[in-house]
Amino acid sequence: MPASPATEANKRPTDGLQVVNMSSLSEYSIGVIRSSLRVTKRTPRARQGLVVAEHPIGAEVGAAILARGGNAVDAAVATAFAMTVVEPFMSTIAGGGTMLLSLAGPGEVVALDFNVCAPAACHERVYRLAPGRSEGALFTWHRVEDDQNLYGHRSVAVPGSVAGLTLALERYGSMDLGTVLAPAIRLAREGIVADWYLALTAAKFQEELSAFPEAARTYFRDGRWVYRPPGMEPGDRIRSPDLARSLELIARDGAGAFYKGPLGQALAAEMRAHGGFLTAEDLANYAVRVTPPLRGSYRGLELAVSPGATGGITALEILNILETFPRSGVGWRTAEGLHRRAQAVAQAFADRFQYLGDPERVRAPWDRLASKAYAREVAAGLARRRGRRPGPSPDCTTHVGVVDRARNMVALTHTAVSLFGARVVVPDTGILLNNGMIWFDPEPGRPNSIAPGKRALVNMTPLLAFRRGRPYLTLGAPGGRKIVSAVPQVLATLVDTGCSLQAAVEAPRLHDEGDGLLVDDRVGERCLAGLGRRGHRVTPLEESYSTIYFAKPVAIRSTAAGLEAGLDPLRPAAAAGA
């Protein structure tokens, strides 16, 4: 058999130099010093209000709304819509999301579930299975013929974004929809200058998006080339006139424009023309779920996390297990602390995969998994349990956190599901469609199997925390399933060490779903070796500007000295306020 091109490249001299597999040098590298990248962010404390978002423009939009007298919900909704313009690969108005909001006056905490759901035409055998496992799904589910559940028209689930965001504004905001949508409309119409983050992401997906003509026309310059960020010359300006017109319709007519009006009609027509499952009836029947949050605590700090088939219950289970150990025994600076974190994460994910699905369709031991008693049982006899193989976890989202003058708080996670969603853009609307069917297990008879109208098990893990009943923290992250492990680790680091919020967000993290431990290599060689001695199959990873190995948390903490931000240091996450 002929050697692969990669093998030949390793054998062939290039310009007189032998190409070397760097991993083969590891046996010679013990004791060798190396340079390392250390990046941080600093944010002055705010007094009046603060917004954190995954892009500076989004944070500035929210801060401007606060400055005009808007509350935290107004700012969060404005920012979420703006982020669909400035970070279009992460979220879309045809996506889904989860919002937690705390109203400081009445002391009310509410969860809004506006995640996507399966169209009525879908059922547990709607996809024909192919041999093998899917390497492009969020989990290594059984493969589907032609990867129809991963991208394209048959991967599109019923979107909830417009319904959820407009309902939140109507019930809990103080501004009208037109005012709140105005910044996003202006950004789409006038355009933004492509930064390295947008240009790099679009470049990475150039081949995939090129297979979908309308997506290529929307996201590429002249339909062929990706945009250039500023460098030696000014960067390209990205305008989204079709999306601007769609947002203007929503601003004028509300959610009805999307679910029953011209935008919904265009979406349904696109589905009919290309064999998608989604129909006009699915859009008209979509409903947001408004419920109390899931309550818990960590070392006396009161918590509210997203309920149901989200990451909330799994994050709470992780925290409950960690709480059974001393503060000094679960930190990231020692191999033993990392070992306990890994065990807690792996156990919680094993339970997640075994039991969880849409709570309106699936009977699961919800109360038990969230209980302190169960955590004590687990901690008393932690035995490693094998979970489903993690797979590449390509889904990504955006997250917004807001605290306003009255100390109302919002944690909002919003997504297109995978990067660039289904890769389908509805013609003449600029609306990118989600690929929410990727979240379902395509095999029948499982908790997360497909059913008409069912909501899938999602990774969103927005969290609010209170100290003696007073607003204290809003926290969340994008980053696929790594969100679910990142949020509790940030919180545990903050509470257990007493560090700054920025330090807690920046601290190294790990992820373990029961089939191998991924660890930020900043923990150091001694800890990595110690984890290996404790039986873990360790994969050290170096986080960089172009990776999202361990999610991208952002947070705000309310203190006597003011509002403190914690931001992912490697990507464009930013805070703005006054």
Tokens representing 574?
Answer: 């930013």
Q: At what angle do helices 372-380 and 312-323 cross, to 10 degrees?
A: 60
Q: Which of the following is catalytic: 92, 98, 397, 474?
A: 397
Contact, 113 vs 291, CB < 8 A? Answer: yes
Q: How far apart are CA 337 and CA 14, in angstroms?
A: 45
397 is catalytic: yes
Closest among 218, 217, 201, 255 to 77, alpha carbons compared: 255
Q: Which residue in 56, 60, 80, 68 sits closest to 179, CA to CA?
A: 68
Measure Cα distances from 22 to 10, 25, 269 in Å: 11, 5, 52
- Rounded CA separation 257/266 (Å): 11
For residues 78, 81, 87, 93, the Cα torsion angle rounded to the nearest 10 degrees is: 160
Structure token pair of residue 45: 């404390």
Report d(CA 96, CA 88) in Å as an integer.
14
Instruction: Give the 3-state secondary structure of residue 462.
Output: coil
Residue 222: how many CB atoms within 10 A of its CB? 7
In whole angstroms, give the CA distance from residue 541 to residue 549: 8
> For 258-296, what is the HEC assignment?
HHCCHHHHHHHHHHHHCCCCCCHHHHHCCCCEEECCEEE
430: left (phi over 0), alpha (psi -120 to 50) or beta: left
Catalytic residues: 397
